[in-house]
């Protein structure tokens, strides 16, 4: 083989080898279908008040735990947030046990003072944050009852008076 032939074969071979990973990874690999909007909505609604339904749906669709429903105008909500603003500690704790993404609103409802207060001290403007449906930390502290009484008083002391702030 002469030099010219060697170079041609080397270039063509290198290009071919470069395509092998692309071609092989594209074969028989399909992206999973997104969950249907109605399924996500049903799960988020169940998270507000129905532990049995939450359990059953998670058995069938484990990744629903990470799904959020859009109520419109950027008002997204996960099942754990529904449990949080309804004061449903049983559902919230179950979802946390299963790996749900916890947020400050749910922790406030659960009365987790040792987690919430240091966060609010580090980021004072979060006291005025809006959760799902524009519900505030004060609302979540109120629905948390006795467990959240210390946080409720703390939020009032820090100047939070609104339980709901309109989402624009």
Q: What is the DSSP string of 126-165?
A: GGG---GGGB-HHHHHHHTGGGGHHHHHHHHHTT---SB-
pLDDT in tens, 64-81: 999 999 999 999 999 999
Give 134's pLDDT tier (boundaries 50, 70, 90).
Answer: very high
Distance CA 15, CA 8 (A): 11
pLDDT in tens, 99-113: 999 999 999 999 999
- 8 A C-beta contact, residue 167 and residue 75: yes
Outline where the chain has alpha helix (H): 3-26, 37-49, 51-60, 79-86, 89-97, 104-109, 113-122, 137-143, 149-157
- 8 A C-beta contact, residue 54 and residue 86: no
Rounded to the nearest 10 degrees, the angle between the axes of helix 79-86 and helix 37-49 is 30
Distance CA 146, CA 112 (A): 12
- β-bridge pairing 68-70 and 76-78: antiparallel
pLDDT in tens, 10-63: 655 555 555 555 555 555 578 989 999 999 999 999 999 999 999 999 999 999
Distance CA 149, CA 101 (A): 24
pLDDT at position 41, please?
98
Q: DSSP 3-state assignment of 24?
A: helix
CA distances (Å), origin 90, targets 82, 96, 108: 12, 10, 15
Q: What are the residue ranges spanned by the domains of the chain?
A: 33-101, 103-168
Q: Mean per-residue pLDDT for 116-144?
A: 97
């Amino acid at each position: 083989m002469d030099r010219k032939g060697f170079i041609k074969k080397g270039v063509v071979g290198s290009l071919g080898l470069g395509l092998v990973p692309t071609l092989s990874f594209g074969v028989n690999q399909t992206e999973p279908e997104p969950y249907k909007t109605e399924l996500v909505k049903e799960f988020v609604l169940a998270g507000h008040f129905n532990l049995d339904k939450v359990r059953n749906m998670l058995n069938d669709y484990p990744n629903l735990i990470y799904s959020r429903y859009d109520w419109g105008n950027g008002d997204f909500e996960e099942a754990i947030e529904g449990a949080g603003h309804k004061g449903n500690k049983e559902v919230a704790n179950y979802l946390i046990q299963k790996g749900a993404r916890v947020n400050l609103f749910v922790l406030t409802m659960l009365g987790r003072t040792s987690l919430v207060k240091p966060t609010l001290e580090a980021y004072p403007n979060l006291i005025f944050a809006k959760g799902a449906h524009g519900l505030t930390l004060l609302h979540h502290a109120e629905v948390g009852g006795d467990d959240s009484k210390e946080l409720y008083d703390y939020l009032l002391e820090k100047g939070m008076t609104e339980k709901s702030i309109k989402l624009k």
